[in-house]
Each structure stands twice: as structure tokens, then as C-alpha cells.
Amino acid sequence: MIPLSYPQPDLRDDALRLRCWSLDDLGCIRDATTDPRIPEGTTVPAEYSDSAGRAFIERQWSRLDSGEGISLAIESTQLSRAVGLVVLMLRPQAGVAGLGYWIVPPARRHGYATRAIRMVSNWALAEIGMERVEAWVEPDNVASLRALEAVGFAVEGRLRSFLAFPTRRADALVLSRIATR
């Protein structure tokens, strides 16, 4: 199993910084609750309160401590605040991580998801030794599919009725990016 730790220094480009979550990021969690699909498929609370927001951030910290994976806040350097999340969750297969991400509605259409996916997958494949980063995406999530494909993720197939939500099931397209050594 590949040991994970927060990137030092933080991953960044001219528009984004990927960093550890902070209790100062409660506004980002509040914004995330305004898109029902984010709480539906994640541990973001469906109804925002400061205590629920703090609990969410504490869960993100615990992912690294438990060996489950690593969750990073996506911070817009222009706005100086978190606008989303990117997470790598370790799969049971050695050297494989699952990728998850979301951008709050007010910050969409600025390329943040694509940039965050590029930075974290480059880091995972080139620096920490992952062999494969994969994402499971609903077929109708066109924006997410475009962001992944722009970074070089390839569609591998469709898992029928694979994703389980509180009130429905959905197919998942499997996309991956692999190490090229």
C-alpha cells in the first residue's frame, strides 16, 4: 500500500491551490449544499449548518489518518477561498486510486475542475507512485466527462446500475489515467 501524506508544498498553478481543508472553508461547504447532486453522491450535508460543515471538514481530515485516502480543498487564488474538493481514495488494488471532485455552483465554468484533476492526477502518478487513477461518472454528467478527457482520462466502459444513491441507482462510466514510466 502506498502511504499518503499531504503534498509539500501544496499543489498549485497560476489559478488554483490544492491544500488541506480548514475550518475557514465553511462557506465552500455551504455553497456545495446548493447543488442537490453534491450531497446526493458525497458526504456533504444535504442541509447546511455550521456544525454539519465542521463535521464534513473533520471527515476530510480523517481520510488521511485512517488510510482511506486524501481530500484536498480546491482554492481559487484569485478569490482566496475554497471553491471545491478533490479526493483520492485508495482502492483495494495496489497502486490504484479513485478520483472524486466537485466545484461549488458559483465557481463553475472557470476550468477549476480540469486544473484540479490535472494537478492531483499528475501528483498521484508521477510523485507518489500510483499506477492508475480512475473515476466513476454518471453518463449524463457531460461537464465532468469533458474535464476528465481534457486531462487524458480514457473511457474504459460502463458499469450498469453501479452507483447507489439514497433514492435511485445509476450507471457509471469508468475512466482512467495510468502511469507512463
Domains of the chain and CATH, by start:
11-178 (3.40.630.30)
Q: Of 102, 120, 104, 117, whose CA–CA distance to 148 is shortest?
A: 117
Sign of the C-alpha dihedral computed for residues 168, 169, 171 and 175 taken in this order: positive
Give 76-97 pLDDT, tens digit per residue: 999 999 999 999 999 999 999 9
**Per residue in 47-87, pLDDT tens?**
999 999 999 999 999 999 999 999 999 999 999 999 999 99
Q: How far is residue 17's CA from residue 76's CA, in Å, rounded to a whole number?
A: 7
In this structure, are residues 2 and 129 in contact, taking their beta carbons and an 8 Å threshold?
yes
* Contact in structure between 26 and 54 (CB atoms under 8 Å): yes
Rounded to an integer, what distance in angstroms lies between the CA atom of residue 173 and that of residue 159? 6
Is pTM, for the whole model, over 0.85? yes
